[in-house]
Structure 1
């Protein structure tokens, strides 16, 4: 919760990837708050109020996951909303000629997005979610100690560059500094 809050303010991409990881952590603990307390919450050096607050945050996420039927897969609506917001910003940036650097990075990334979609078959993911899925998948491979091919590393480097730029523009937009200063 504390990490998520900080990431949301500073870097929306890191926030979203972190929240996807939290969803998976909750699933790995079978949506059981007692397991989450012993495996996660108790590992932090927190005072009683912080511990209570963090426990309530996990409990609310568990409740949302159950109500939204994402206990085994999928993403919470709050995370889907973040993706929708980023996708809307993405399209607005592409339409505005003042953001030609952004458009250029997108078109450098697009072949990798197309390749990823072709590997997934009938993918219903939009471009931004495809990028995040690739970044998250790579993160999971690294955490598992699995190797990543040179081609994948090249693709992830470009996707990272593109998503970093989108995150930068999101932060400026949140600070009301994006559209006036271009």
Structure 2
């Protein structure tokens, strides 16, 4: 592949995921990723700050989706209904490419540094949801509690979905998990 071909970012991401799966995250170099994609290291660094960012570059889109789902929910929705709508939308987005999401999860789970970064990114998602809830008039500490609860329920639902590859319905698993939590709290 020549450097002029389109979708350099996508090619780099695909190459990185393949190499991480084949050799492990730690053993894969940026030079190897760029070579597999038919690009230069310089091109890699135009698209990603480092090789970890290949695994986390969609988080801004996910954060925006969560905030938009809270903002667009019906006016009469409760704080947990807003959180449910937000994380259900996120689940639907992740479900669009289940193989990549499951591979990414395996790569992150196998590396302590990446697991720590994942927790930081999840905290940023909770913060974005809490901010969107406050914008909707949910006072503190309720906004933060609801947002953090949403992240916790999402993590449990995601783990259930990842561990059973035959289950295609991540949004449904999230809804079930949220209903289970509501039942426990009733």
Answer whether TM exceeds 0.5 for this pair.
no
Q: Which has the higher contact order (CA 8 A, sep 6+)?
A: 1
